[in-house]
Structure 1
């Protein structure tokens, strides 16, 4: 058995994995990694990316460039033009990211799930002062990004962003092992609430859809193109920011400085596209939710 396989088998032990990724000083490690990943020394860059490749299935063949200044530059890489196909069906909302579908399905009132037996509410996630009526009894999808995936997120439909709210928080790991052990984990971690209104025709026009990027250990920074601030643990500015930024379907909205999870909240009338279920790998632009109202 190779060393790589032995290490992977060791980390597959749930108790050990949880200990190593959650019981260490999470905030300190996250801040350290944020600084370390931006070091542009060629030796540090090459060693960092080499170790990253060893522990993951990192594939850079679709990257727009092949030479990176730092590990951070590699992590936030752009894709080659045409690397993703955007579903153009007017009744379809496409996936905003490359990811793995986690918990998903109907929202029971305002209750959703992070894992089987671990519910949380939209009030926990977005705050009690937020108008949640648009998503009551709607549909939710949790999309998890692994470390090796493409980490930029895109508009799932032609839309206008009218508000962003930032929630400072912890940096628990968001892998399935932690989601089965830490109650209301997404509601504890650093996250942003991006409120959008769809620009379509007929009854789909004006529907409210929310994107909630959630940060995690080593990955606590979110960059949005339409805000001139970096949302991270040290951010001390306004928590709620009014916006008026329009995006076309598939247009890039921002990126994780490292990566984590995006929760999609859709109103009643949207349902997960046929063939998709928990554990399915999706690519940015792929059909995710269908409007059938």
Structure 2
């Protein structure tokens, strides 16, 4: 699919999108900068018009890093979270970093699933610094709700990366975990020179140096997937967040427990 999506042919791309719309009628380019594309890859990673994703400016808030559908969310209970009801997994299996595991104890998490028709770029949910990206090669299971109720530890099996977002406050800990999935299974981080995918054979820990303001673009998936947001106990999930809700990048997701 990765090979097919990068074929440069406006005619083939237009035909492919027409067929795609038959199965996914919610495919919508009204917010996109471009309405026609030379390849499906261009379509998947399309940018949006300026201003269509306003960033919530609440000082103590953390916004959604992407467009998505809210999945399982709640407290990190003794290192255990859920991919779906009755399907727990350990944070340690997802994020093999003992220091981060300790800091996320008693924190919270939100699962955000991107469908294939959605905007595929992800953004900084808070003002932060990133000094490394840790990449973990793995499987490419589908991450839809059916798969999440059939395959144990799915997120822990799939190709993924995790990134600590340093806010300048030593007690705070925020971690993004982009998880790749079926078909293209590739992630591009703007702070790294090359994309991360199953062909990548380099080191797992990739040093970088990047500063982001809340809402700045961090990278993109080359197809739909999932982003897991983990936060330490200094943050809580906004009361209005519920499973099945569609959320847009820039909308409120978490807030500091000391802010109201």
User: What TM-score bracket applies, with the shorter chain setting the length?
Assistant: over 0.9
Could you say what secondary structure the match of 2:239 adopts? coil
Instruction: Write the mapping of 1:83-98 to structure 2, written as runs, cut at 5 A.
Output: 83-98=52-67
Residue 135 (structure 2) pairs with residue 166 (structure 1): yes
Q: Please report how far the alpha carbon of residue 128 of structure 1 lies from its aligned counterpart in structure 2 after TM superposition.
A: 5.4
The answer (yes or no) to whether the contact 1:198–1:206 under 8 Å persists in 2 is no
Q: Deviations for 1:47-87, whole angstroms, at most 9, x for unmatched residues?
A: 11111122111000000112211011011000000011100
Report the Cα distance in structure 1 between the residues aligned to 2:167 and 2:97, rounded to whole angstroms. Answer: 24
Q: Which of 73, 78, 86 is the equivalent residue of 1:104?
A: 73
| Pair member with larger Rg | 1
Residue 171 (structure 2) pairs with residue 183 (structure 1): no
In structure 2, the partner of 1:114 is: 83
Residue 16 (structure 2) pairs with residue 48 (structure 1): yes
Report the Cα distance in structure 2 between the residues aligned to 1:229 and 1:130, rounded to whole angstroms. Answer: 27
Give 4+ residue runs of structure 1 displaced > 3 Å after superposition. Answer: 128-131
Residue 259 (structure 2) pairs with residue 291 (structure 1): no
Q: 1:176 to 1:213 in 2, by over 3 A?
A: same
Q: Which of 188, 198, 201 is the equivalent residue of 1:223?
A: 188
| Structure 2 portions without partners, runs of 5+ | none
In structure 2, the partner of 1:212 is: 177
Could you say what secondary structure the match of 1:254 adopts? strand
Report the Cα distance in structure 2 between the residues aligned to 1:144 and 1:154, rounded to whole angstroms. Answer: 15
Q: Please report how far the alpha carbon of residue 129 of structure 1 lies from its aligned counterpart in structure 2 after TM superposition.
A: 4.9
In structure 1, the partner of 2:34 is: 65
Instruction: Write the mapping of 1:122-201 to structure 2, written as runs, cut at 5 A.
Output: 122-127=91-96, 129=98, 131-199=100-168
Could you say what secondary structure the match of 1:198 adopts? coil
User: When you count helix as a share of all residues, which structure comes out higher?
Assistant: 1
In structure 2, the partner of 1:238 is: 203
Number of residues of Structure 1 aligned to a counterpart in Structure 2 = 257
Q: Please report how far the alpha carbon of residue 248 of structure 1 lies from its aligned counterpart in structure 2 after TM superposition.
A: 0.4
In structure 2, the partner of 1:14 is: none
